[in-house]
Amino acid sequence: MTWLDPWTGLLVAGGLLPPLIALYILKLRRRTREVPSTLLWRTATADLRANVPFQRLRFSLLLLLQFLVLALLALALSQPEVQGGARAGKHAMLIDRSLSMQAQDGDGGATGAQATRLAEAKRQATDRIASLHSGSFWMGDSASVMVVAFGGSAQVLSGFTDGEQQSSDAVETVEPVDGSSEILEAIELVRSALATVNPDDQEAAAPEEVVLEIFSDGRIDDLSGVALRPEESIIFHSIGDPAAANRGVVSLGMTRDPDEPSLVKTLARLVHWGDVDQEADVELRVDGRPRAVLPVPTRLPARVSVDGVLRPGEVEVAFPAIALPQGGLVEVAFSEPDMLPRDDVAGIIVPPPRELRLALLGADDFVLRSVLESLEPAELVEFSAKEFLERSQQDEAFSRSFDAIIVRGTLPLPLPPGRYLCFGNPEGLPGVEVFGTKEGAVVVGSRSDHALLRYVALDELVVRLHAAVVPTARGEVVIEGSEGPLAIASVAPSLQLVIVPFDPLDSNWPFQRGFLNFSSNAVQWLAGFARPIAAEPRALGQSHRVEAGGAGRTVQATHASGRVRSAMSGADGLAVVGPLDLLGIWSIEVGGVTTSRIAVEGPGEDESRLDVANELQVSSPNGQAVSASGSGGGRRAIWSWLLLAALAMLALEWWWYLRQV
């Protein structure tokens, strides 16, 4: 409690209370009266005492009531204010709409059903707004309310307004998002709304006091960065069950069988935020239909504390390879949903295996062409080095359009971005340095575990003449010869290379089965850089760029929940739809026709944690930690209540006095 004018109250109390007491202890100067008997005058018997100036103070209800009246008047004149129930002034409703607020442990009200935490937060915020606007003379003026929703980003839904209906309607428009919970941006938006400029002197006006009312489960990632200003205070409305546990699917991985590209194997990482171990059935779905279930329930370990920080229990599961000749949507999900269904499933888009598209550069080579044709590529195009370089300079995407480019002899330098299998002199290639030639080499070592050497026998390989090379930092020796490296793999952001520093015709390799296997492995290994197993998922909250095929076309992204994001293509035929703020699969439609699907991945394991914080720790202006736990808030004047109490005491005193007369 604070006192705006304590000295006035003290002066009034000091000037009135002592005289009141004195009136009751001073002995009255009595006048002589003749009466028949003192028994007929009861009040006179009390004054038949010794003739002294003062008498002993005796209990009197009138004295008590009069004392309370004067004391309450003195307190009212001191203008006291209490912390934690302010009605008038500025109030900012900050509503958490992150993934954890979709947990179904809220109060369903009269329906008895389990509502989400967000629904409960909206209900409490609406009730709070109603209470702030039920003002009267005794309760103070109605408040000015602002509504801000926050998650991974913040959104102002209503500026400061005295209209109760406008604020309540703004609360109802809060939509859930699947991102993390960050509040700093929301607080900055409130501060921006409060910033005013004096039009006379163009100087900043004095900061207005504001109460930040936070409706959240307290799982706020950037809370440690919040520093309250002197004019700011917090009321924390804690939402959710403090003992809530949860499990979730946080990541997926895919591998493709190198021998049968249509076969894919799925890996998943599961986490569990609970204090006891749990078992759950996990299933694999393809395009929404169950495809496989792990034979036994998966044991999910309890969460653990690591250096004082809680970490979820986690486990990885692997499903047997399944055939996806046409690709599809692959999902891993718990068979039975829990309190937070949104993170019980994770999906990824798997494109169909793409047929090989190869380019052959250099002199006409029947042997090398026959090897490549045996791979049954969808396209095998032959170019001269000069022609290939010219086409690449005209079109930056030309060289990247091939899964692998096989070069024998003259290199198209500078090498355009792409994936290359190079036979012959490697002068000018990244990943190696050339310092001459060597003769009569045999294999003395190899990386047998490398994908390039699967089913490749090298015991009988003899090389008559090869370039003497040493690998650079990006080069990895795959085959080591008696006179130096005979095969090097080099991976860079724009170039992936398999370098064989000799012409196959300068060796006995073309007459061995290992040459066919090595060439096939090299092409498949290089093609893997061009053909990811699964489409790269989008990060939560990002927008997506769509080629609409013309200007003024409607592009729409639709989530399984029904949420829609729309955009119109510009003059360049491109449209940007978003933000894609929900986990899962979004369908992209152009002109009403579905053209593709996009998987959106989650914010991470921390948003799957559902236990509720009982307090918020923020920094105050004096550098000390301030705890807000469901109470507190702005200052509220209570002088009107004290004045009302004084009037009530005065009425009671008058009634009692009349009764004694």
On the CB side of 631, CA atoms within 13 Å amount to: 3
User: 320-324, 523-527, 631-635: lowest mean pLDDT where?
Assistant: 631-635
Q: Is the pLDDT of residue 357 over 50?
A: yes
> 90-243+610-633 sits in which CATH class?
alpha beta
Confidence of residue 654 (pLDDT cuts 50, 70, 90): confident
Q: Which amino acid is at 144?
A: S
Q: Give dist(CA 517, CA 574) in Å, integer.
A: 44
State pTM to two decimals. 0.63
Q: Which CATH superfamily is domain 246-353 in?
A: Immunoglobulins (2.60.40.10)
Is the CB of residue 278 less than 8 Å from the CB of residue 272? yes
On the CB side of 207, CA atoms within 13 Å amount to: 11
Q: Is the pLDDT of residue 111 over 50?
A: no
3-class DSSP assignment, residue 516: helix
Extract the tokens encoding 470. 């040493």
CA–centroid distance for 524 within its chain:
38
Q: Give dist(CA 355, CA 382) in Å, integer.
A: 17
Q: Is the pLDDT of residue 438 over 80?
A: yes
Q: How much is the pLDDT for 633? A: 42
Q: Which has more pLDDT, 254 or 500?
A: 500
Q: How much is the pLDDT for 28? A: 53
Q: Check if CATH label 3.40.50.880 holds for domain 357-522.
A: yes
Contact partners, residue 62, CB within 8 Å, separation at least 6: 653, 656, 657, 660
As a whole number, mean pLDDT of residues 320-330 equals: 86
Nearest to residue 331, comparing CAs of 271, 255, 256, 249?
Answer: 249
b/e map 279-312, b = 16+ CB within 10 Å: ebebbbbbeeeebbebeeebebeebeeeeeeeeb
Q: How much is the pLDDT for 541? A: 81
Q: How much is the pLDDT for 197? A: 46
| In the chain, domain spans | 2-83+640-660, 90-243+610-633, 246-353, 357-522, 538-601
Q: Which amino acid is at 308?
A: G
Q: Is the pLDDT of residue 514 over 50?
A: yes
Q: Which amino acid is at 139?
A: M
CATH topology match: 246-353 vs 538-601? yes
Q: Give dist(CA 255, CA 265) in Å, integer.
A: 5
Q: How much is the pLDDT for 247? A: 92
> pLDDT tens, 409-418?
888 888 999 9
| CATH number of 538-601, picked from 2.60.40, 1.10.357, 1.20.272, 2.40.10 | 2.60.40
Q: Is the pLDDT of residue 279 over 50?
A: yes
CA distances from 281 to 363, 587, 607 (A): 59, 28, 22
Q: Give dist(CA 516, CA 370) in Å, integer.
A: 10
Is the CB of residue 270 less than 8 Å from the CB of residue 314? yes
